[in-house]
Chains A and B, each alone.
Chain A
Amino acid sequence: MTTAVAIAQRVQSGESSAVAELEVSLEVIRSRNEELNVFLHVDEDGARAMAKQVDHVVASGSNAGPLAGVPIAIKDNLCQTGVPTTCSSRILEGWRPPYNATVIERLVAAGAVPVGKTNLDEFAMGSSTENSAYGPTRNPLDPSRVPGGSSGGSAAAVAAGMTSIALGSDTGGSIRQPAALCGLVGVKPTYGLVSRYGLIAFASSLDQIGPLTKTVTDAALVLEVIAGHDPMDSTSLPEPAPSLMAHLNDGVAGKRVGLVRELIEGADEEVVASVHRAVDVLRDGGATIVELSIPELHLGLSAYYLIAPAEASSNLARYDGVRYGLRVDADDVAAMNEATRTMGFGAEVKRRIMLGTYALSAGYFDAYYGQALKVRTRMIEAFRSAYLEADLLIGATTPGVAFTFGSKTNDPMAMYLNDVFTIPTNLAGDPAVSVPFGTGEAGLPIGVQLLGPGRSEAMLLAAARVLEVGDGRS
């Protein structure tokens, strides 16, 4: 297995070169992208130029950074200068951002080589990548199944070996759920740990960027690079990036791990069994286990499906055909706005814009959006109480393994329920990690989720590392 840590070490030592590593990556993409529909755009020329720059730095005897020459896949809702960015929507067709997202700046400064933009559910709204205007992405582990979503393209890129690492975004589970379904490590950082500048907003108060990787170590490495205060994001935490690599092998001795009933309730038997075995591994590692119930978690899904669409209805208003992307001409401005949005947005995006618009409307605000905010506050308090009894929490990432195409597309509620375990942490603004642990139906991977209070990434990754070792993965 090729990891980012290994690639960077090879490139920096001169054993390999960034250009050579890029060519390996491009070769896998060429051979499998048509089948899997992972990349919407491969920036070969741009990536080569960046790889050459890395090699130049190495040749000059300088340190090219912790991700020297590591190809990385970028979810197509992150802005990269001059590179087409679509959010998998027709409405942004042809748009090339004139600026880099902060995470792109930081990755490139660390020596990483962004190779292209990966498929997602349109504007990150979905759990299967079936909502893309550019067709669904297939799960490399079983192409008859979905890779999860919305960061399904980024997950598939890593699972298929196209790149060793990828960036995704997580609003209600969009990193952790595809990571679970593709057998990867996925991190949803504390809200504000990673700058959102240049992340095309879905739901601003919930969105966070994070890594999808094969190993816990790679996740820690990428997160260290992209985290830390950014003056361009008002919601960015004030402190610099936390030290994560240094704490990877801290273990879980002495930690209190809360097994949360509501985070396994309704999950497939095999998933529940995996969580229990993970609990055993942590206990063996010296943790004490407490069983917890947080009934408020049941309220998460309904609160989320008011708050996220409400913010989305406002965030997506700017796609009006006036300045960029798709424009469908009509007699006057209002008709042009309407024609453009009718043609440019897919069904799920329209559904959520309507939901959100309704939830914010005069006369309904208090009953819907206002109520959802109260639930959110209760959720935050419930987690706070839970963290008095446990240092970290454990549960499932998803109720089951990767599902087949079309099995949930006709029933939005069934699709939404796939995120029932991941949504609460987004509402609370807390971090969570999905780590592969065991397999289920058809030998497909299962993700176990570790949750912690704000800024507890180092502890969560150390615990994830214990599970990674315990699962015999390294």
Chain B
Amino acid sequence: MTLPGDWEMVVGLEVHTELKTNTKMFCGCANSFGSQPNTNVCPVCLGLPGSLPVLNERAIEFAMAIGIALHCTIAPSTFHRKNYFYPDMPKDFQISQYDLPINSNGYLDLPDGSRISVERAHMEEDTGKSTHLGGSGRIHGADRSLVDYNRSGVPLVEIVSGPDIRNSAQARAYASELRGILIATGASDGRMEEGSMRIDANVSVRKPGKPFGTRCEIKNLNSLRSLQRAIDYEALRQIEVIEDGGVIRQETRHWDENTETTSTMRTKEEAEDYRYFREPDLVDLDPDQVWQDRVREAMGPMPAQRRRELVGRFSSPTDAQLDAIEVVIDLSLDRLVMTAIDEKVDPNLAVARAANELAGGLGGIANLTSDAFTTTLRMEEAGELSATQAKAVLGELLAAGGEPRAIAAAMGFEQLSSDSLGATIGELIAQHGDEWARYCEGDEKLAQFFIGLVMKLTKGQANGKAVIAELQKRR
């Protein structure tokens, strides 16, 4: 979307990601999504009187890995208390990093070549989760509120970008690339729908070369789509206000999925004074070089490098192929694809099957070995499976795992081997002598006629290329 006139938008993103540790940030409770409410709790994460936090080492390692992937400086850091009252925050303060974060001054390069600065990536604890019942459905005016403290104390890293983003598509690309990095580091599963990755957007508008305008922070962005639409909406809203002679107030705004609009949550005047001070129950964090190096060495390649490697397997990739590669990288399917390509499978076929068939059945991706993927594609290339059959075999591999040849046999695909195909075509030539004669005289269109008949007889299980090969052999 382009903004009217010569308006320019200025966007910075704050991305919260839950870390995939086994246990919570300051206690031994399980860090798992979807348990029965208030079952993963103890005196520490319930903030009971007398309890004390002890920092989770794995959480520090994930935070460092994120910092390394974002080219940050890892520095000695401290924890602070952010004080405010809220029922789902059991201590009525949140332990967070403030003026000395573990990671600072990094950047993230986007696929389009632009570079977005990362001001900091700091650690903090998550709060519990409130559900407001009846009445307005928000905390003010609900009949009853239920609180689940399972999420209380789950480790988070908050990644704060610089105000470098200039349009909503770039914001989306940043969030998407960051998500890939978080998944690649193993720090997060990047599931926005489960809240394990949450984004707030700071949006302002200005005329080129002018100082930054007053910004508004947009909350409740639960998908990349919402992110993009909310930023566009908000920039247009601000331009309208200014062009009508109004001024933008610094405030926090709520994105409404249904109306696709933002509305005021609280103004700057209503903002809390968090009274930050050093958390006296924790000691300073100063990971030594040996520990940092150990984390660095354990990290696999990041999406940008993996993208470069995959693109390098194509001599001159088309836009459609680049899009498919993007999907493959985004879904971390590139290991499967690269293995297949290394086994001489056509890169185009490997990427296409991954970006479509595998992407459609990600829930079962753990069932699919790279051997099985490679074997299926090679069978397709050898004409042992039609495209339709190969897709069906991949579907079955994702659903239940197994060995491609056995699955093909069980699905009755084997009878379409060249012998039975030859017999079928022989019968069809006998039945359609006129058409066969015209085909033999060079009317290539009739190849499609025979393919259609073969497909009809075999219920679409024949391999089109194999049919043509058989026809040409007999011509």
Q: Show the binding face of A for B, using Cβ within 8 Å.
A: 77-79, 85, 87, 92, 95, 97-99, 101, 196-201, 203-205, 231-235, 310-311, 313-314, 317-318, 320, 322-324, 332-334, 337, 357, 360-362, 365, 369
Residues A85 and B49 in contact in the complex (CB < 8 Å), given A333-B139, A361-B273: yes
How far apart sit A369 and B276, CA to CA, in the bound complex (Å)? 11
* A322 pairs with B49, CB closer than 8 A: no
Number of residue pairs spanning A and B whose beta carbons lie under 8 angstroms apart: 99
Chain A residues, CB < 8 A from B91: 317-318
Residues A369 and B277 in contact in the complex (CB < 8 Å), given A99-B43, A201-B50, A234-B282: yes
- Return 16 A-B CB contacts under 8 Å, by A number: A79-B49, A97-B49, A99-B43, A99-B51, A196-B52, A197-B52, A199-B50, A200-B49, A234-B53, A235-B281, A311-B280, A314-B93, A314-B275, A317-B93, A320-B87, A362-B275
Partner of B90, one of A87, A323, A334, A365: A323
How far apart sit A85 and B48, CA to CA, in the bound complex (Å)? 12
How far apart sit A92 and B83, CA to CA, in the bound complex (Å)? 21
**Interface residue tally of chain B, by bracket?**
20 to 34
How far apart sit A311 and B273, CA to CA, in the bound complex (Å)? 16
Chain B residues, CB < 8 A from A231: 54
Residues A362 and B273 in contact in the complex (CB < 8 Å), given A197-B50, A234-B282, A333-B139: yes
Additional A-B contacts beyond A99-B50, A361-B275 (20; CB < 8 A): A78-B50, A79-B49, A92-B49, A97-B43, A97-B48, A98-B48, A99-B48, A200-B49, A233-B52, A234-B281, A314-B81, A317-B92, A318-B49, A322-B87, A323-B90, A324-B48, A333-B87, A333-B145, A360-B276, A361-B273
Residues A204 and B49 in contact in the complex (CB < 8 Å), given A231-B54, A318-B92: no
Chain B residues, CB < 8 A from A234: 52-55, 281-283
In the A-B complex, the 9 residue pairs with the smallest Cβ-Cβ separation, listed nearest first, are A317-B92, A360-B275, A205-B280, A204-B280, A200-B49, A198-B50, A79-B50, A200-B50, A362-B273
Residues A317 and B283 in contact in the complex (CB < 8 Å), given A99-B43, A323-B46: no
Chain A residues, CB < 8 A from B400: none
* A317 pairs with B55, CB closer than 8 A: no
Interface flags, B306-343, vs A, CB<8A=1, else 0: 00000000000000000000000000000000000000
Partner of A337, one of B53, B85, B90, B147: B85
Residue of A nearest to B149 (CB): A323
Distance of A328 from chain B, by nearest CB (Å)? 15
Residue of A nearest to B48 (CB): A97
Interface flags, B269-281, vs A, CB<8A=1, else 0: 0000101110011
Distance of A323 from chain B, by nearest CB (Å)? 7
- Indicate the member of B43, B48, B276 with the most A CB atoms within 10 Å: B48
Partner of A318, one of B47, B145, B275, B280: B47
* B48 pairs with A232, CB closer than 8 A: no
Residue of B nearest to A205 (CB): B280
Residue of A nearest to B46 (CB): A323
Residue of A nearest to B147 (CB): A322
* B50 pairs with A101, CB closer than 8 A: yes
Residues A310 and B90 in contact in the complex (CB < 8 Å), given A99-B48, A322-B147: no
* A235 pairs with B283, CB closer than 8 A: yes
Chain A residues, CB < 8 A from B49: 79, 85, 87, 92, 95, 97, 200-201, 318
- Indicate the member of B53, B85, B90, B276 with the most A CB atoms within 10 Å: B85
